[in-house]
């Protein structure tokens, strides 16, 4: 499966959740979807952690503290 964007991964997780909640999947299909969902959630979590680290670094490297006022 090609690498999906973060947004597409979230959409897929939502679809998997709806499919699982419907109760219409066989046990085997439900397990496959569940496994796919766990992988997608793990990938999204890693993406969010990476983004958070970047934002934290950007804020730390600002000359003016975030939310602070700049001397003019």
What are the pLDDT digits (tens) for 4-26? 999 999 999 999 999 999 999 99
Task: Report if residue 70 sits inside a domain.
Answer: no
What domain range includes position 19? Answer: 6-57
> Cβ neighbours of residue 38 under 8 Å, at least 6 residues apart?
none
Q: How far apart, in whole angstroms, are the C-alpha atoms of residue 46 and residue 63?
A: 28
Helix (H, G, I), strand (E, B) or coil at 31: helix
What are the structure tokens assigned to 41, written together?
């959630």
Asked whether residue 41 is assigned to any structural domain, the reply reads yes
Could you identify the residue written with the tokens 């006022």? 69
Q: pLDDT tens across 17-69, in order?
A: 999 999 999 999 999 999 999 999 999 999 999 999 999 998 888 866 566 56
Asked whether residue 63 is assigned to any structural domain, the reply reads no
Residue 71 resides in a domain: no
- Total domains in the chain come to 1
pTM tops 0.85: no
């Amino acid at each position: 499966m090609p690498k999906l964007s973060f947004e597409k991964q979230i959409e897929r997780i939502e679809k998997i959740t709806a499919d699982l909640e419907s109760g219409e999947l066989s046990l085997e299909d439900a397990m496959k979807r569940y496994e796919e969902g766990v992988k997608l959630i793990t990938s999204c979590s890693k993406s969010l952690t990476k983004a958070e680290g970047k934002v934290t670094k950007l804020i730390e490297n600002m000359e003016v503290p975030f939310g602070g006022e700049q001397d003019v």
